[in-house]
Each structure stands twice: as C-alpha cells, then as structure tokens.
Amino acid sequence: MKKTECIFPGSFDPVTCGHADVICRAARMFDRVYAAILHNPEKHGCFSVQEREEMLKACCAEAGNVEVVSFPGMLWELAQTLNVRVILRSFRSGGEAEEEITMARLNEKLLPGLETVFLPSRAELSCVSSSAVRQIASFHGNIHGLVPDVIEQKIRDKFGY
Ligand code: PNS
C-alpha cells in the first residue's frame, strides 16, 4: 500500500505554537511527517541547529509519525534524499500565500513532480511567528501561548529570564 509522506520545512528558530499546530494537523493526514530544519551553514540563526532540533523534537514527542531532521541545503535536495514528493507549507495571510506559491513553483522547477500543499494557519495563531517570539523574548516579555509549553523555559533561559 502507498504511504503518504510529506516534508514540513522551516527555520524553526524557534518552533512556535503555529508550527506545532500545523505539524499536529499534518500528522493526522499523512502516514509520516518530516519536520525539517533547513539551514544555511553560512548564516547563523538565533538558536543553533542543535537547539532548534532539540526543541522541535520535544514538541513532536507525542506524535509517533513525526520525524525531525535537519538539512544544510536546498529543499528539493532534501526531498530527493528522503524520496518524498510532497512539501507542506502554511501561511498566515494572503501576502504570505503569494510568496509561498512562488516558492512552490520554484521548487517544482528545481525538482519536477515536487508538489506543495498548504494548510492555512488557524486564525487565533495568525499573529504568531518565530521572529515575534525572538523579539518579545529579547525584551523579556510574556511568550506564554506563543510557543509550546514544553520549550517555554528553554527560550527564557536563552534570553536570560
Ligand atoms: O520558516 P521559514 O523561514 O519560513 O522557512 C523557509 C524555508 C527554510 C523553508 C526556505 O527558506 C527554504 O526552503 N530554504 C532552503 C533553500 C531552498 O530550497 N529554497 C527554495 C527555493 S529558492
């Protein structure tokens, strides 16, 4: 029987409640979800790739069909390596949807047959982003409800509060 698999790629710097919600919804629709941290070795994020991976794993621990991976290259190469032909992306607004459609078309050009499917963010999470979390945390603000409870303290520790 054919297994349905997808890659949910992102920077996850750090993973947010928005990401966790999409992963949870995807895990109900696909046999396997690869939550993939795509990173450019020449660019450093706020959290190291190892920290991001640990946080993402902690958030996905309860879903038996979610695998966390990290990859220092392009998305189409990861898709080829894993032999997966479905990318899952989310968007929070119409503007983001437009950008995502362009990225989906580019990825299909880079690896013909690579499809992208979309899950819009839940309305109540549409203001949540990794960059907002980083900014709020940098001012020692309240990040409760923006990131999964299991990683809240790790983020506060990173920013010293
Ligand atoms: O969480 P983000 O920042 O929205 O994730 C963007 C990401 C990492 C998925 C995207 O930048 C990406 O795929 N980077 C790898 C390089 C690549 O393959 N780009 C797409 C074709 S230009």
63 lines ligand 1 (CB under 6 A): no
CA 157 to chain centre: 22
DSSP state of 40: -
Task: Point out the catalytic residue in the list 11, 90, 121, 130.
Answer: 130
32-65 pLDDT, tens digit per residue, is 999 999 999 999 999 999 999 999 999 999 999 9
28 tagged catalytic: no
CA–CA–CA angle 34, 37, 39 (5° rounding)? 145
- Band of residue 147 on the pLDDT scale cut at 50, 70, 90: very high
Residue 130 annotated as catalytic: yes
- According to DSSP, residue 6 is labeled E
What is the reported pLDDT for 67? 98
C-beta of residue 60 within 8 angstroms of C-beta of residue 128: no
Does residue 1 carry a pLDDT above 70?
no
CB of 103 within 6 A of ligand 1: the answer is yes
Q: Is 52 a catalytic residue?
A: no
Considering only CA atoms, which residue is closest to atom 9 of ligand 1? 10
Tokens representing residue 49 in the block = 């790739």
Distance 10 CA to ligand 1 centre (A): 6
Residue nearest atom 3 in ligand 1 by C-alpha distance: 11
In this prediction, residue 3 carries a pLDDT of: 86
Stated pTM of the model: 0.98
Residue of 68, 94, 74 whose CA lies nearest to 15? 68
Band of residue 2 on the pLDDT scale cut at 50, 70, 90: confident
Which is nearest to 10 in space by CA: 30, 33, 36? Answer: 36
| Ligand 1 neighbour 38 (Cβ under 6 A) | yes
CB-count exposure of residue 45 (10 Å: 0-12, 13-18, 19+): middle
